[in-house]
Amino acid sequence: MSVFSSTSTSAPASPATATTSTTASAAAASRQPTQAELLDFARRVAADAELIASLPLDPEGRTWVRLEGPAGSEAWLIGWPPGTGTGWHDHADSVGAFVTAAGELTENSLAARLPTDGWKTLELTDDVDRERRLPAGRGRSFGRHHVHEVLNGSTERHAISVHAYYPPLPRIRRYSRSGQTLRLEQIERPEDWQ
């Protein structure tokens, strides 16, 4: 398993940090994993108690270890200090899945398909907000352009989760939100995470 560790309050490290694939991995990467396969992978990794316990946790910022995901996907084991979160974002053209391995995470998401490009500000309707509480062992998959934020609402406990994306993240769009107004603030690309 290839790994990369860091501490940050922003996006995980660059997909460029992955190690060279073996011939078998290259063959597996020739097909695209489904959302269900990404979720199954995240569940299996989240159940690996030894791996979960090996993640270095920092009281100040998120930590992560890069994992080798299925069929050429990008995967991460992420530690969340109490009170931390991602802010509103999407993963552009990537599908994904994540599972809480320890603690509990909350996902706030928008149940609306947003335009993919060409806008800076959108007014959301009142019925688009969704909230999911994801205790250890629970997770979800999502499609392209899924806008969400993930939070560790605990004031005392770290949470740990496993995430997988395909294709490897080409960009992350970050948003600010005030009431029902969603504003595109920044587009990050892998070279921004180095």
Mind giving me the DSSP string for 56-113?
---SSSEEEEEEE-GGG-EEEEEEE-TT-B--SEE-TT-EEEEEEEESEEEEEEE-SP
Band (pLDDT 50/70/90 cuts) for residue 194 is low
CA distances from 98 to 72, 178, 184, 194 (A): 16, 26, 24, 23
Model confidence pTM above 0.95: no
pLDDT for residue 5 is more than 90: no
Helix and strand tally (H, E) in the chain? 3, 13
Share of the chain above pLDDT 90, in %: 75
Q: What is the mean pLDDT of residues 130-139?
A: 98
Mind listing the pLDDT tens digit for each residue in 136-145? 999 999 999 8
Summarised one tens digit per residue, pLDDT across range 160-171 is 999 999 999 999
Residue 61 has pLDDT above 80, yes or no: yes
Please, which pLDDT band fits residue 1 given cuts at 50, 70 and 90? very low
Provide the pLDDT confidence category of residue 193 given band limits of 50, 70 and 90: low
pLDDT tens digit sequence for 76-120: 999 999 999 999 999 999 999 999 999 999 999 999 888 877 889
Residues 192, 75: Cα–Cα separation, whole Å: 18
76 φ/ψ angles, rounded to the nearest 5 degrees: -145, 145
What pLDDT shows up at residue 22?
Answer: 43
Using the predicted structure, report yes or no on whether residue 48 has a pLDDT greater than 90.
Answer: yes
Specify which residues 90 forms β-bridges with.
Answer: 173
Cα distance between residue 191 and residue 194, in whole Å = 6
Mean pLDDT of the residues in the chain: 86
Would you say residue 185 has pLDDT above 50?
yes
Question: Lowest-pLDDT range, 156-160, 168-172, 174-178?
Answer: 168-172
Query: Phi, psi (5° rounding) for residue 46?
Result: -65, -25
Q: How confident is the model at residue 25 (pLDDT cuts 50, 70, 90)?
A: very low
Taking alpha carbons only, the member of 58, 40, 38, 182 closest to residue 121 is 182
Calculate Rg over the CA atoms of the chain: 16
